[in-house]
């Protein structure tokens, strides 16, 4: 995109504050830590205002204390928080990988749907396989399903210029309808059921629980499973790919400037297709995490708008795998706590969506945070997506 | 500026040629598919009914003859596209070709039956209305170089406000409130995009997520329990326009619709006039094409952008009220179901021109209407696949035309005054 105007830097030089002095200079702590935390705080404050407007002043404290208890207090809450964070990590990585290459994948929902479905099909189809073979096979099937759903907009973008924002949104709707259709096929639909529910995934393809050995009360309610470890491993792998490998360098070069990358000898079209395919595959992993994990089957809407939360947390984590893991745990806490809030107070779980949207507003516009809290310094937000042409 | 010129010469020309070639091949493939799937082996006649009652203005034709005829046309279009090209008429030709394809498809699906064309087209206009409002909102914003991905959220906010205010006060105020709510969302977008120079696509997505979260939250918190007092605005019925509605066929399709549709017609005409024939329009377009030059000539770039984005929000909010006050009669969570994004595709397909955007919206409306009709005809295609039709058409359209359409030159770029 050669026509982009890079904002002329007219920031007046500032003296290094105490934060810069105690922190390593190569990490921009204000941008990476301070502003995100203030963004979350501000979102919670405005969320409280919304509660006051809809349910009155007295509803705030019970709602937020239930939110906190449901997220952090006790083993069950922590297990639920990390459980909710697991698909968010994978989905967030999917969006982050796209952002790194200047592509905006809003299609994580659809890719999760297809990936989760293919994982389930493999998960119930092969009887008698050992756990060590069957589970990886099902996970891989989920990756492939999602990758296919990401490959399509990748090719469309690279070959025809069709903007991925529109094509991925449309593919979301197509994926939902595909799921509805597939769940009614005789070989997928659960025997004896007339509603759209798939067969149950065999035990050999389910993620085993990892905390139920703990010597605590209600250990059987600790639902955290191996998927969490897998998600962390994938996050590390993506970090390595993006920052330590040639391919990752090429991806990021395409994101920084496609024209420069092109003159540097990088195949931009190939990179776009590869990134979208990888992004879709990661989303597929998130989907299979849902179907092979807690639920154990595919039902309509099993993605639970994780794909949209993923956008928020990729921005919050500044598209860095480490940041994505942190943000995913925060959002997992909001989800797990939100359920407790819905159950124990008058405030519904949809408030969480509002809070998350507010978090992105503040993350996307750090100037807002800087002016309200008088934080000085920090880097200028760079553009991460591209317009209709190119 | 050399950058733009360079792109025009080095990159665009080959891409254009390649795109034209792909389109030509698509036409040829279409001809083959139409001939072998719809013409060969299809028996029986299909009756298209253009009149009010059966026997009145009927047109009966052999399904396979119709398909053969269409295949010949596609073959011809493919030939012309591959050799000479259609130039600036490419999108129009594509639109007509899609219409012919749909007609042939109906002829095949309805072999041995009769099909009421008027009913399909009435639904087409209705289904196209919110999409067209979304597209016009997009035109308004992008002509001053602000990308508006938040149309979906503005439609949703409009639908919500329309339902609530429409029930509590009156449908008229419901519409006004919906427009203002859309405008408010647009101001949010404008502040993020213009003042804080947030990446515009992300700012739009933020608007969408925020609107979805807020309307769903308030809906589940308040509306569900008090639906009779807050969420039952009633539907504004069709108004027959005297004289015009008596025109055969067309009159019933275009001039027996509800108030939203008539406002849409007016808006298309007014916006076209304002954008291309007035000082305001010239200034707006200048800001979208070359903000620096516009600024040098004394046009206030920021104010122009704020104002137009606000107008865009008013339009989208108004269009959103169509869902609750013009069609369903109550607010449901996420009831816009991607119409805002389809509107964006219509804007691109319509080349950032109000008339083009409206025509493109009609194409998408037709896909939606066709889906409804085919599920009634029961042609053996699972309903899930029929429901995909509008989304598939959108992808095909965006993939087929986006390379050729030219967005305003400064689209998506924040302006920094020096």
Q: Which of B209, B345, B416 sits opposite A353 (nearest CB)?
A: B209
CB-CB neighbors (< 8 A) of B199 in chain A = 364, 381, 383-385
In terms of domains, do A377 and A308 share one? no
CB-CB neighbors (< 8 A) of B7 in chain A = 2-3, 390
State the total domains in chain B: 2
In terms of domains, do A136 and A266 share one? yes
Q: What sign has the CA pseudo-torsion A147, A152, A153, A157?
A: positive
Q: Model-level pTM?
A: 0.84
* CA dist., res. B98 & res. B111, Å (int): 20
In terms of domains, do B90 and B134 share one? no
Closest CA to A298 of A203, A180, A177, A135: A180
In terms of domains, do B6 and B134 share one? no
Whether residue A78 is contained in a domain is answered as no
In terms of domains, do A89 and A133 share one? yes
Least-confidence region, from A178-182, A328-332, A355-359: A355-359
Domain boundary among B112, B147, B172: B112
- This complex has an ipTM of 0.83
pLDDT per position as a tens digit, A168-204: 988 999 999 999 999 989 888 888 888 889 999 999 9
Whether residue B222 is contained in a domain is answered as yes
* Residue located via tokens 């279009």: B77
Tell me the nearest-neighbour CA distance from A154 into chain B, angstroms: 11
Chain A residue with the nearest C-alpha to that of B209: A357
* CA dist., res. A373 & res. B244, Å (int): 61
Mutate to test the interface with A, among B6, B152, B398 (most CBs of A within 10 A): B398
Whether residue B369 is contained in a domain is answered as yes
Q: What are phi and psi of A189, to 5 degrees?
A: -65, 140
Whether residue B414 is contained in a domain is answered as no
Tens of each residue's pLDDT in chain B, 418 residues: 344 444 444 444 566 677 778 788 888 998 998 888 888 877 778 888 877 666 677 788 888 888 899 999 999 998 888 888 777 777 788 888 888 888 888 888 877 777 888 888 889 999 999 999 999 999 999 999 999 989 999 999 999 999 999 999 988 999 999 999 999 999 999 998 888 888 888 888 889 988 988 898 888 888 888 877 788 888 888 888 888 888 877 888 888 888 899 999 999 999 999 999 999 999 999 999 999 999 998 999 999 999 999 999 999 999 999 999 988 888 988 898 889 989 988 998 888 999 999 998 998 898 888 888 887 777 777 888 888 888 888 888 888 765 556 778 888 888 887 7
Tell me the nearest-neighbour CA distance from A126 into chain B, angstroms: 28
Domain boundary among B112, B137, B159: B112
Q: What are phi and psi of A13, to 5 degrees?
A: -65, 140
State the total domains in chain A: 2
**Is A387 an interface residue toward B (CB < 8 Å)?**
yes
* CA dist., res. B274 & res. A123, Å (int): 60
In terms of domains, do B90 and B15 share one? yes
In terms of domains, do B277 and B368 share one? yes
A225: which DSSP letter? B
In terms of domains, do B62 and B183 share one? no
In terms of domains, do A127 and A203 share one? yes
CB-CB neighbors (< 8 A) of A104 in chain B = 201-202, 205
* E-state strands within B268-350: none
Chain A residue with the nearest C-alpha to that of B394: A170
Q: Write down the pLDDT at residue B405.
A: 62
Whether residue A1 is contained in a domain is answered as no
In terms of domains, do B95 and B218 share one? no
Tell me the nearest-neighbour CA distance from B107 into chain A, angstroms: 26
Whether residue A23 is contained in a domain is answered as no
Half-sphere exposure in the Cβ direction for A63 (13 Å, CA): 25
What is the rounded (10 degree) CA torsion for B178, B179, B184, B189? 110
Mutate to test the interface with B, among A4, A387, A390 (most CBs of B within 10 A): A387
In terms of domains, do A299 and A325 share one? no
In terms of domains, do A129 and A207 share one? yes
Report strand pairing: B58-62 vs B114-116.
unpaired
In terms of domains, do A326 and A306 share one? no
The reply to whether residue B216 touches residue A350, judged by beta carbons under 8 angstroms, is yes
Whether residue A240 is contained in a domain is answered as yes
Asked whether B188 and B207 are in contact (CB, 8 A), the reply is yes
Tell me the nearest-neighbour CA distance from A380 into chain B, angstroms: 10
**Is A225 an interface residue toward B (CB < 8 Å)?**
no
Whether residue B17 is contained in a domain is answered as yes
Chain A residue with the nearest C-alpha to that of B339: A170
* Residue located via tokens 């950058």: B3
Q: Is A77 helix (H, G, I), strand (E, B) or coil?
A: helix
The two tokens of residue B391 are 């989304």
The two tokens of residue B356 are 């083009």
In terms of domains, do B78 and B43 share one? yes
Q: Write down the pLDDT at residue B12.
A: 44
A15: which DSSP letter? -
DSSP B192-231: IIIIS---HHHHHHHHHHHHHHHHHHHIIIIITTTHHHHS
Q: Is A169 helix (H, G, I), strand (E, B) or coil?
A: helix
In terms of domains, do A117 and A248 share one? yes
* Residue located via tokens 């607010």: B331
Kindly state the helix (H) or strand (E) to which residue B45 belongs, with its residue range. strand B45-49
The two tokens of residue A92 are 């967030």
In terms of domains, do B104 and B144 share one? no
From the CB of residue A132, how many other CB atoms can be counted at a distance below 10 Å? 9
Q: Domain with B292 in it: what CATH number?
A: 1.10.3470
Whether residue A147 is contained in a domain is answered as yes
* CA dist., res. A242 & res. A255, Å (int): 12
Q: Write down the pLDDT at residue B403.
A: 52
User: Residue B131: which domain range?
Assistant: 124-382
Which residue blocks in chain A are alpha helix, DSSP H? 18-22, 29, 35-55, 60-72, 75-100, 108-125, 131-160, 164-182, 227-244, 246-256, 258-263, 268-290, 306-316, 321-344, 350-364, 366-373
In terms of domains, do B202 and B253 share one? yes
User: Residue A146: which domain range?
Assistant: 83-213+220-316
Question: How far from the centroid of its chain's Cα atoms is residue B380's Cα?
Answer: 28
In terms of domains, do A254 and A154 share one? yes
Whether residue A387 is contained in a domain is answered as no
In terms of domains, do B215 and B300 share one? yes
Sequence-distant (6+) residues with CB within 8 A of A37 are none
Please report, for residues A153, B127, B275, B280, the alpha-carbon distance to residue B269 in angstroms, rounded to integers and kept in the order given.
35, 20, 10, 15
Whether residue A4 is contained in a domain is answered as no
The reply to whether residue B192 touches residue A361, judged by beta carbons under 8 angstroms, is yes
Mean pLDDT of all residues belonging to chain A: 86
pLDDT of A209 above 70:
yes
The reply to whether residue A357 touches residue B22, judged by beta carbons under 8 angstroms, is no
Q: For helices B301-321 and B259-277, what crossing angle results, to 10°?
A: 160
Q: In what order do the strands lie in the sheet with B45-49?
A: B58-62, B45-49, B114-116
In terms of domains, do B174 and B295 share one? yes
* CA dist., res. B123 & res. A381, Å (int): 46
Whether residue B400 is contained in a domain is answered as no
Start-to-end CA distance of chain B, whole Å, equals: 17
A31: which DSSP letter? I
pLDDT per position as a tens digit, A82-122: 999 999 999 999 999 999 999 989 899 999 999 999 999 99
Q: For helices A131-160 and A268-290, what crossing angle results, to 10°?
A: 140
The reply to whether residue A348 touches residue B147, judged by beta carbons under 8 angstroms, is no
The reply to whether residue B398 touches residue A351, judged by beta carbons under 8 angstroms, is no
**Is A162 an interface residue toward B (CB < 8 Å)?**
yes
In terms of domains, do A225 and A341 share one? no
Whether residue A2 is contained in a domain is answered as no
Whether residue B341 is contained in a domain is answered as yes
Q: Write down the pLDDT at residue B54.
A: 67
pLDDT of A13 above 70:
no
Domain boundary among A280, A300, A316: A316
Asked whether A178 and A121 are in contact (CB, 8 A), the reply is no
A59: which DSSP letter? G
* CA dist., res. B232 & res. B330, Å (int): 6
Domain boundary among A316, A332, A347: A316
**Is A322 an interface residue toward B (CB < 8 Å)?**
no
Interface contacts A/B by beta carbons within 8 Å: 170
* CA dist., res. B222 & res. B212, Å (int): 15
Whether residue B185 is contained in a domain is answered as yes
Q: Write down the pLDDT at residue A382.
A: 55
* CA dist., res. B383 & res. A267, Å (int): 41
């Amino acid at each position: 995109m050669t026509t982009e105007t890079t904002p002329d830097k007219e920031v007046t030089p500032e003296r290094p504050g105490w934060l810069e002095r105690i922190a390593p200079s190569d990490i921009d702590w204000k941008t990476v830590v301070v502003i995100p935390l203030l963004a979350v705080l501000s979102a919670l404050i405005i969320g409280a205002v919304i509660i006051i407007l809809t349910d009155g002043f007295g509803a705030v404290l019970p709602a937020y204390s239930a939110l906190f208890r449901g997220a952090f207090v006790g083993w069950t809450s922590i297990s639920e928080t990390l459980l909710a964070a697991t698909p968010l990590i994978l989905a967030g990585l999917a969006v982050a990988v796209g952002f790194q290459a200047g592509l905006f994948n809003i299609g994580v929902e659809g890719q999760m749907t297809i990936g989760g479905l293919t994982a389930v099909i493999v998960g119930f189809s092969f009887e008698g396989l050992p756990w060590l073979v069957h589970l990886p096979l099902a996970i891989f099937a989920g990756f492939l399903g999602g990758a296919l759903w990401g490959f399509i907009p990748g090719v469309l973008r690279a070959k025809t210029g069709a903007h991925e924002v529109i094509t991925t949104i449309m593919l979301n709707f197509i994926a939902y309808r595909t799921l509805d259709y597939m769940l009614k096929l005789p070989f997928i639909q659960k025997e004896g059921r007339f509603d759209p529910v798939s067969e149950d995934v065999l035990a050999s393809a389910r993620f085993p629980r990892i905390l139920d050995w703990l010597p605590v009360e209600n250990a059987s309610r600790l639902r955290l499973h191996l998927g969490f470890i897998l998600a962390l491993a994938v996050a590390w792998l993506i970090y390595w790919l993006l920052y330590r490998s040639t391919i990752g360098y090429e991806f990021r070069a395409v994101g920084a400037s496609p024209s420069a990358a092109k003159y540097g000898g990088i195949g931009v079209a190939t990179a776009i297709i590869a990134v979208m395919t990888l992004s879709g595959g990661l989303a597929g992993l998130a989907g299979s995490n849902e179907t092979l994990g807690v639920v154990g089957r595919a039902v309509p809407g099993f993605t639970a708008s994780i794909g949209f939360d993923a956008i928020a947390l990729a921005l919050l984590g500044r598209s860095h795998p480490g940041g994505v893991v942190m943000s995913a745990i925060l959002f997992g806490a909001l989800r797990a706590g939100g359920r407790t809030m819905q159950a124990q107070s008058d405030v519904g779980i949809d408030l969480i969506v509002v809070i998350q949207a507010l978090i992105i507003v503040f993350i996307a516009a750090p100037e807002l945070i800087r002016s309200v809290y008088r934080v000085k310094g920090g880097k200028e937000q760079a553009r991460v997506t591209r317009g209709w042409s190119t | 500026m050399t950058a733009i010129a360079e792109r025009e010469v080095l990159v665009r020309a080959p891409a254009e040629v390649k795109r034209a070639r792909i389109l030509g091949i698509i036409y040829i493939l279409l001809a083959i598919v139409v001939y072998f799937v719809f013409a060969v082996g299809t028996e029986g006649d299909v009756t298209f009914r253009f009149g009010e009652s059966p026997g009145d203005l009927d047109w009966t034709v052999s399904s396979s003859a119709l398909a053969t005829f269409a295949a010949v046309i596609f073959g011809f279009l493919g030939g012309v596209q591959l050799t000479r090209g259609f130039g600036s008429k490419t999108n129009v030709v594509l639109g007509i070709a899609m219409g012919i394809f749909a007609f042939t498809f109906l002829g095949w699906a309805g072999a041995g039956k009769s099909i009421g064309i008027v009913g399909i087209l009435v639904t087409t206009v209705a289904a196209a209305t919110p999409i067209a409002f979304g597209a016009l909102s997009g035109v308004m914003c992008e002509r001053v170089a602000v990308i508006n991905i938040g149309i979906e959220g503005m439609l949703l906010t409009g639908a919500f406000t329309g339902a609530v205010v429409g029930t509590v006060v009156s449908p008229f105020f419901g519409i006004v409130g919906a427009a203002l709510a859309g405008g408010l969302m647009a101001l949010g977008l404008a502040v993020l995009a213009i003042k804080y120079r947030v990446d515009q696509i992300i700012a739009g997505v933020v608007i969408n997520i925020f609107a979805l979260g807020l309307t769903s939250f308030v809906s589940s918190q308040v509306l569900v329990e008090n639906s009779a007092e807050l969420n039952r605005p009633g539907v504004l019925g069709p108004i027959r326009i005297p004289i015009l509605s008596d025109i055969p066929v067309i009159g019933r399709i275009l001039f027996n619709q509800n108030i939203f549709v008539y406002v849409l017609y007016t808006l298309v005409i007014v916006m076209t006039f304002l954008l291309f024939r007035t000082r305001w329009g010239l200034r707006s377009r200048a800001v979208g094409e070359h903000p620096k030059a516009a600024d040098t000539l004394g046009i206030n770039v920021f104010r122009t952008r704020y104002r137009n984005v606000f107008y865009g929000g008013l339009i989208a909010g108004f269009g959103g009220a169509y869902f609750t006050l013009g069609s369903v009669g109550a607010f449901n969570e996420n009831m816009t179901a991607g119409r805002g994004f389809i509107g964006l595709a219509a804007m691109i397909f319509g080349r950032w021109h109000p008339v083009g955007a409206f025509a493109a919206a009609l194409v998408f409306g037709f896909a939606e209407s066709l889906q409804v009709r085919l599920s009634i005809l029961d042609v053996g295609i699972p309903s899930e696949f029929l429901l995909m039709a509008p989304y598939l058409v959108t992808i095909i359209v965006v993939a087929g035309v986006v390379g050729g359409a030219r967005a305003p030159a400064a689209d998506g770029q924040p302006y920094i005054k020096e």
